Amino acid sequence: MRKIFILLLLIAVRPAYSQEQELIWAEKYKGENAVVTSHKQHLEVKVENGGIKGFMEVEKEILLLTDIAPGLFNNATVYHNSFGKLKSVEGYSSIPAKKGYDKLKVKDFKEVKSTSAGIFYDDDHETILSYTGLVKGAKTVLKYEIEHTDLHFMPSHYFQTYIPIVKSEFSVTVPKEVKLKWQLRGQNTDRVKQTVEESKNKTTYTWVAENLNKFNLYDDAPNGSYYLPHLLLYIDSYKPSRDESPKKIFGTVDDLHHFYYTFIKDVNTKPDEHLKKLVIEITKDAGSDQEKARKIYQWVQGNIKYVAFEDGMGGFIPREAHIVCQRKYGDCKDMAGLLVTMCKEAGLQSHYTWIGTRSKPYRYDETPLPAADNHMICAVELEGQFIFMDGTDAIIPFGIPPYALQGKDALVHIDKDHYKVITVPVMPNAENVTVDSTQVSLVGRGLAGSVAIHIKGYGAWKLEGMMQYRSGKEKEDAIKSIALRGSNKYLQKKSDFTVLADKTVRAYSRFEIQDYAQQVGKEWYINMNLQRSYENQWIDVKERTVPQENNFKNITRQVVILEVPKGYHVSYLPPPFEKGSDHLWKFKIRYENMGNEVRLMKEFEMNTLYITPEQFEENNKLVDELRKQYKESIILKAD
C-alpha cells in the first residue's frame, strides 16, 4: 500500500513543464507566479479612400509558474472602443501533456463596458476571455485584431507589465506615402532596441525589449507614464492619394490645435435666451470684468454637478451650454463649454482650453499629441492675463487652478488659427499653510484641552470639498480625524468647522486624552509631540526607482502649549533641532520654558512636488532624525 502512495506522490511532483525552454524560464523566474514569454503587436497602416487606418494584430503568451497561478491568470482582457474596433479575438490554454501541449480553446467571452476615470473618453469596452483547464506549467495564449478607424489616436505601447516579460515587441508597417514618427518615453528606454526594414513600398519599424522585470506600483507615485518605458506613435503626414500633396497630421502644436478645433467649431454657436437671461441675472451687481467672471464661475461651481455621463461617441465634443445648464450636470468639457459661453455672453474674452492633469507627464512642446492631455477648462483673459477656471472643482476660489493642474501646459484656443500655450504656475508653499495650535493641561494622567487648526490654500479647499458632502454627525467625525492626536484615546467633546470669508478654513476640537502622561514618584514625563507629522514619510529605497508625488507644496506650523501644574516646575526640556533643505523638505523643533507653561513649536516645509529617487536617501535621513526628536519627553518635577 505504501508503495502505491509513493508512486502517486512521484506523479504529483513530476515537473509539469514538457519543454526545455519552459523549464529554463521556470527556474529563472522562480518566486513569480507567471511570466509573459512573448507579447507581440503589429500595426499595419493603410491609406484608404483618402483616410488613414490601422490594423493591429496582437499575440500574447503567458507561462504559469505556480499552483496558484491558474486562479490568478484564468482571465484575459482586451480593451477596445469606437476608435479601435475589435475585429477578432481568440484564446487557448496550452496544457502540458505527455507529448508537448494540449490546446483548449476559449469558449467563454464576455463583453463589458469599462468605467474609466478618464474624462474625455468614455467609450471603452473590454472583452474578457476565460481560460479553462489551467495548471502549473500551462500557458495562456491570447490573439486578437483591432481595427483603428482613426489614426489620430494611435495606440501606444508599454513594454513592462505587472509580471515579468521575456520579450515585448511592437512593430509598425507603413506604406511609403505615410510618414511615421515616434517618441520613446519613461525610464530605461535604452532597453528598447529599434530596427527598420524597408521594402519597395513599405517600411517596417520594430521596437523590442527583452527580459524586463515586472513593474512595482506605489500609491504615492505619479502615473506610470512618468516612469514606465513606453512608445508613443504618431502619423506626421500622409498622401491621401497618389496625386495629392502630403497632408500634415501631427508633429506640431499647430497640428494638434487644428485637430482639436474640429471638436469645438460647431458647438455653442447659437445664442440661447435662457442662458442670456441667467448671465444677466448672475452678473447684475458685478462692477468689473473680473467680478463678472468670478460670479459666473461661482454659479457654475455651486449649481452644476460633475457627472461624466457619456453617450458613446462625441467624447471630445462639449455639449451645448444651455442643455448643461438645464440638466445641472456635465463633465469637464461640458462645464468648460458652459463657462466659455456664459463668459462670452457677459462680454468677456473666454477660451476653450485643453490641458493634461498631473497624471500626464507630457508637455505640448515635446509631445503635441492627443496623448498629452485629458481635461478641459475655460480660460478668460482679464487685463492681459489668462485666468483659468476648472468647472469640475466645486470649491476652489476664482483665479486659482486645482492642484492637479500645477505646472502643466494649457492649450488655449484663440480662434481657428490661433492658440496660446501657457504654463499653469506651481503654487509656492507659502500659499498653502496650516497653523495648528494646541493648548493642554494635565488632568489625572490625561491631557485636556483644545486645538484650533487654521488652513489656507489647497489644504483648506480640499477639506472644504470633503465637508460639503458630510452631514452634521459625519462632520464631527471628519474633524476628529484631522484633530486626532496623542493617542487613539482622543475623545472629542466639542467640534466646529468654519469656512472664513477669505476662503481659509478653521477646525476646532475640544478634547481629552486619557492615560497619556507617565508619573513616577515626583516626576511627570510628557511627550509633547502629540502629532508626529512626517513620521511616515520614510520611503523604501531598496527597489524603488519611482518618484514620490505630493499634491502641493506646503508649510505646517504646530504649537503645543502645556500648562505647568501648580507645585511643579520644568526640570528637563529637549534641545532645539532643525534639519532639511530648500529643494526637499525641512523641519524645526524648539521648546520654550515660560514658567507657568511649556511651549513646543514645530515647523515643516514641503518644498517640492516630486521627491526623486536621488533624494530618497536624504529624505530617509531626515525622517530618522525627526523620529529621534519625536522620542523626547519633557520632565516636570514637584517643587
Partner 1 sequence: MRKLLVHLAASCLILSSARAQYTLPVTWEGSPKLHPIAKELMDESAVFVLDSRHIQYKQEGNNTFVYRTLHRIIKVLDDKGIESFNTMTIPIGHNEIERVQARTILADGTVKEVAPDKIKRTKNEEGQESYVFAMEGVEKNAEVELIYREKKNFSTFGGEQLQFGIPTVKAEFMLVIPEGVRFETKGYNGFPSATDSIIGDKLFYYATADNIPAVEEEQYSNREAFLMNIDYRMSYIDKENPDVKLFTWNDLAKRLYNNYYQITDKDKKVIEKYLMSIGISDKDDDEQKIRKIEDGMKNNISMSNDINDDSYLKFDKIIEKKLTTESGFIAFFLACLQVAGIDHEYGLTTNRFLGPLDDKFESWNSLNLSIVYFPKLKKYLTVTGIFYRMPFIPPAAAGNKGIFLKKTSLGGAIAAIASVRKIPFMPLEASSHNIEADVKFDAEMIPEVDMKVIFEGYSANGIRESFIYIPKDKEKELVQSLVHVASKPEDIKSYKVENTAFNNYYDNKPLNLTATIASPQLMEKAGPKYLFKLGDLIGRQVEMYQEKERKLPIDMPYPHTLYRTITVNIPEGYKVSNAETINMIAEHKASSGEPTMAFISDYKLDGQKIHITIKEFYSQVNYPASDIEVFKKVINAAADFNKVVLVLEKG
Assess 487 for contact with partner 1 (CB under 8 A). yes
In this chain, which stretch among 301-309, 353-361, 421-429, 495-503 interacts with partner 1, using CB under 8 A? 301-309
Give me the amino acid identity at 599.
Answer: R
30, 130, 230, 214 alpha-carbon torsion, rounded to 10°: -20
Cβ atoms within 10 Å of 180's Cβ, excluding its own? 19
Binding mask 443-472 for partner 1 (x = CB under 8 A): -------------------------xxxxx
Assess 114 for contact with partner 1 (CB under 8 A). yes
Q: SS3 sequence, 29-76?
A: CCCCCEEEEEEEEEEEEEEECCEEEEEEEEEEEEEECCCCHHHHCCEE
Contact 506, 453 (CB under 8 A): yes
Contact 110, 70 (CB under 8 A): no
Q: Which helix (H) or strand (E) holds 446?
A: strand 446-456
How far, in Å, CA of 221 to CA of 548, rounded?
5
In terms of CB distance, is 434 or 615 closer to partner 1? 615
In this chain, which stretch among 174-182, 254-262, 481-489, 581-589 interacts with partner 1, using CB under 8 A? 481-489
- Residue the block writes with cell 478653521: 506
* In the complex, minimum distance from the CB of residue 498 to partner 1, in angstroms, rounded to a whole number: 17
In terms of CB distance, is 396 or 410 closer to partner 1? 396
**Nearest-CA neighbor of 221 among 611, 541, 616, 617?**
611
| Number of residues forming the site for partner 1 (CB under 8 A) | 71
Q: Which of 24, 97, 280, 307 binds partner 1 (CB under 8 A)?
A: 307
In this chain, which stretch among 106-114, 258-266, 274-282, 554-562 interacts with partner 1, using CB under 8 A? 106-114
Contacts of 160 (CB under 8 A, 6+ apart): 168, 212, 213, 214, 215, 228, 229
* In the complex, minimum distance from the CB of residue 281 to partner 1, in angstroms, rounded to a whole number: 15
Assess 280 for contact with partner 1 (CB under 8 A). no
Q: Which of 90, 111, 150, 578 binds partner 1 (CB under 8 A)?
A: 111
* In the complex, minimum distance from the CB of residue 259 to partner 1, in angstroms, rounded to a whole number: 28
How far, in Å, CA of 11 to CA of 20, rounded?
19
**Nearest-CA neighbor of 12 among 139, 132, 140, 135?**
135
Assess 633 for contact with partner 1 (CB under 8 A). yes
Give the pairing of strands 34-48 and 165-175. parallel
φ, ψ (nearest 5 deg) of residue 306: -75, 110
Q: Which of residues 249-268 bind partner 1 (CB under 8 A)?
A: none
Q: Which of 24, 97, 112, 594 binds partner 1 (CB under 8 A)?
A: 112
* In the complex, minimum distance from the CB of residue 329 to partner 1, in angstroms, rounded to a whole number: 5
Helical packing angle, 458-468 and 472-483, nearest 10°? 150
In this chain, which stretch among 176-184, 581-589, 593-601, 628-636 interacts with partner 1, using CB under 8 A? 628-636
Assess 97 for contact with partner 1 (CB under 8 A). no
Assess 480 for contact with partner 1 (CB under 8 A). yes
Contact 256, 250 (CB under 8 A): yes
- Cα-to-chain-centroid distance, residue 348: 33
- Residue the block writes with cell 519633557: 634
Q: Which of residues 509-548 bind partner 1 (CB under 8 A)?
A: 515-516, 518-521, 525, 527, 538, 540, 542-543
**Nearest-CA neighbor of 526 among 488, 577, 494, 487?**
487
* In the complex, minimum distance from the CB of residue 99 to partner 1, in angstroms, rounded to a whole number: 18
In terms of CB distance, is 203 or 213 closer to partner 1? 213
How far, in Å, CA of 177 to CA of 47, rounded?
8
- Length reported for the chain: 639
* In the complex, minimum distance from the CB of residue 584 to partner 1, in angstroms, rounded to a whole number: 19
How far, in Å, CA of 637 to CA of 569, rounded?
5
Q: Which of residues 2-61 bind partner 1 (CB under 8 A)?
A: 4-5, 8, 31-33
In terms of CB distance, is 216 or 288 closer to partner 1? 216
Q: Which of 19, 21, 88, 115 binds partner 1 (CB under 8 A)?
A: 115
In terms of CB distance, is 143 or 214 closer to partner 1? 214
Q: Which of 23, 86, 128, 443 binds partner 1 (CB under 8 A)?
A: 128
Assess 575 for contact with partner 1 (CB under 8 A). no
Assess 303 for contact with partner 1 (CB under 8 A). yes
φ, ψ (nearest 5 deg) of residue 547: -65, 165
In this chain, which stretch among 244-252, 256-264, 327-335, 501-509 interacts with partner 1, using CB under 8 A? 327-335
Write out the three cell numbers for 72: 490568478
Q: Which of 244, 252, 309, 416 binds partner 1 (CB under 8 A)?
A: 309
Write out the three cell numbers for 375: 481635461
Assess 277 for contact with partner 1 (CB under 8 A). no
* In the complex, minimum distance from the CB of residue 188 to partner 1, in angstroms, rounded to a whole number: 19
* In the complex, minimum distance from the CB of residue 290 to partner 1, in angstroms, rounded to a whole number: 27
Instruction: Find the DSSP H helices in 35-188.
Output: 69-72
Assess 219 for contact with partner 1 (CB under 8 A). no
Assess 298 for contact with partner 1 (CB under 8 A). no
Write out the three cell numbers for 104: 483548449
* In the complex, minimum distance from the CB of residue 94 to partner 1, in angstroms, rounded to a whole number: 15
Q: Which of residues 396-415 bind partner 1 (CB under 8 A)?
A: none
Question: How far is the CA of 154 from the CAs of 4, 24, 56, 275, in angstroms?
Answer: 60, 36, 11, 38
In terms of CB distance, is 316 or 572 closer to partner 1? 572
* In the complex, minimum distance from the CB of residue 610 to partner 1, in angstroms, rounded to a whole number: 22
Q: Which of residues 133-152 bind partner 1 (CB under 8 A)?
A: 133-135
* In the complex, minimum distance from the CB of residue 307 to partner 1, in angstroms, rounded to a whole number: 5
Write out the three cell numbers for 516: 497619556
